[in-house]
Every structure is written in structure tokens, then in C-alpha cells.
Amino acid sequence: MLEWIKRHKVFVIICFVIIVIGVPFAIHCLFKIHPTEDYDFFVAEWSAGELLQYYGGVLAFSGTVILGALSLHQNEIIKQESDKRIAIQEKREHDSNMPRFRVKFLCCNGRYSNMKVKIENISDNVANEILVYKICVVKDKNVIWKYPNAVKYDVIKANDELEVELKTEEIQEDKVSIQFDFRCNDKYGEEHKYHVYSFCESNSSTPYFSIKEIFEENP
């Protein structure tokens, strides 16, 4: 509402002048008019003072209503800000209790065959029921190799690591991307999904893996 007033300053000033000065002046002018006997309907039953007193009461009542509305509006804004702060604090608390991971290359038998990686839990929170799946090698957006099964592990403790065998076959091509997904449950039982990938210029270069969490949109 305050923003609306700021955007319409001229209109608000004009209305204020009319209400405070214009209406009392109009009442004064009306009582200066003396209707004839043919128009006795317009003869005032009230005095100018009584009408001005009534108008003052209306203004006082209107002011009370407006102040009450502004107070309710302000309280609603304060509540919304408070709810936002509480939500931010809850999210920070929730995030501080989430596991966080890093994936590193360990070894392979040459040309990425039988590759092993380690998933490091770099947080102080345990991760349970880990499932590694969608292990594949991609070139030019085409899957040239994939492992058909998923691999399950029980737990990655806080600040601990898990060795994972990707069971890759020998890759002859260069400029490929080694990828896999994994999911786990945090200590609240909430499931988290991650996508891990590394782009390799040649089949002899050392893979460096990036990881990002997968956020599924609600249907």
C-alpha cells in the first residue's frame, strides 16, 4: 500500500486537500445559499456546526479504519518475513545434515578397462543404501558401452570413502565421457541422486570426475 501511495503522490495530495479543505469549504458555501419557499426541501435541518462535527466524526472513523488496515498489512509483511527467515534457517540446518561427495579416479588396466573409482563422503553425515547404476561410456551423445547391472553398497560413513568397480571394458575411442549415477539415503531417510561424469580427450588420459546432484521436478 505504501508503494502505491509513493507511485501516486499527486493523486494522494489532491484527495487529501479535497477531504481536509474542500469538503468543509463546500459545506460553508452550501449554508450561504438560502433557498426560496418553492424549494423548502433544501432548507437545512442541521446547522453548519453540526454537519461539520458529523463530518469530523466520519473522518476520525475513517482514519481509525485506515490505521487498522495498515497495521494488519504491516503485521502480514512482518509474518511473511519471519516465515522466510525460519524457512532459510531450516534449510541451512537441513543442508548441514546432508552428506556431500567427491569422486576420484583410482586405477584401471589400460584404456579404461576395469576402472575403479572412489566415492568420498566429505561430510560429517552418514550415507546409507548406496546404489551405483547407469554406468556407461558416451561418445558424441551416443552410448558406446554400458554396464547392464547396478551395484549396491550398504553405507559410506562420515569422512570415509567407498571403492567402486565400474567393470568397464577396454575403450578404443578418444574424446569419450565416462558416466554413472548413484543414489543414497541420508540419516533422515531422504533419497538423493547424483550424476558423475568425466570427459577424456584420449583413452590414455587420467579421468577427472565431476559430480552434480539430480533434482527431480514434481509432476
Whether residue 1 is predicted with pLDDT greater than 60 in this model: the reply is no
How high is the pLDDT of residue 34? 65
In this predicted structure, the answer to whether residue 219 has a pLDDT above a threshold of 50 is no
SS3 call for 58: helix
Model pLDDT for residues 43-98, shown as the tens digit of each residue: 666 666 776 777 777 778 777 877 887 788 788 888 889 989 998 888 887 777 78
| pLDDT given at position 77 | 86
Burial of 117 (0-12, 13-18, 19+ CB in 10 A): buried
Instruction: Provide CB contacts within 8 A for 183, sequence distance 6+.
Output: 130, 131, 133, 191, 192, 193, 194
Which cell numbers in the block locate residue 28? Answer: 460553508
pLDDT tens, residue by residue, 96-127: 778 899 999 999 988 889 999 999 999 989 99
Which of 29-38, 53-62, 178-187 shows the lowest per-residue confidence on average (mean pLDDT)? 29-38
Q: Could you give the domains of the chain? A: 2-96 (no CATH), 101-214 (2.60.40)
Total residues found in the chain within this entry: 219
Nearest to 143 by CA among 101, 173, 110, 98: 173
Q: What is the pLDDT of residue 76?
A: 86
Q: Of the given ranges (40-49, 138-147, 209-218), which has the lowest mean pLDDT?
A: 40-49
The structure's pTM equals 0.59
Percent helix / strand / coil, the chain, rounded to 5: 40, 30, 30
> pLDDT value at position 198?
94
Of 8-17, 25-34, 142-151, 163-172, the poorest mean pLDDT is in 25-34
pLDDT: which is higher, 31 or 164: 164
- Output the average pLDDT for the chain: 83
